[in-house]
Amino acid sequence: MKLYAIFFGFTAQGIENIRQSPARVETAKEIVRSLGGEMKTFYGILGSEFDTIFILEAPSDEAVAKMALVIASGGNVRTQTHRLFTEEQYGNLISELP
């Protein structure tokens, strides 16, 4: 499984419906599981253009793209997805540089 961060920023609709945000997080966790992933961590963010972040594991780039698209299709958030590397993985990448 690969590690990813999905950043979420509320849309105007998402802010209007902010009280439903905790339920939407639970729905997002179900979407991640249904596509073979596992939610690792959730954080709220201050001082960024984004409002929340999920750290998750997913079996492929395609699976995490589907997760982000399904979650964003509700119209409450916009997303930005990043592939993450553990310290060990990053060290291995560096050690393999030509």
pLDDT averaged per 10 residues in sequence order, the chain, 98 residues: 97 96 94 96 95 97 96 96 97 96
Looking at 1.10.40.50, 3.30.70.1060, 3.90.25.10, 3.20.20.220, the CATH number of the domain 2-95 comes to: 3.30.70.1060
Domains of the chain, by residue range, sit at 2-95
Residue 75 has what pLDDT? 96
| Burial zone of 9 (CB within 10 Å; 0-12 exposed, 13-18 middle, 19+ buried) | middle
Global pTM exceeds 0.85? yes
- 93 CB contacts (<8 Å, ≥6 apart)? 85
Give the CA dihedral 25, 5, 80, 12, nearest 10 degrees. 30
Query: What pLDDT was estimated at residue 28?
Result: 93
Please give the pLDDT value at position 13. Answer: 97
Tokens at 50, concatenated? 């984004």
According to the model, what pLDDT value does residue 19 have? 97
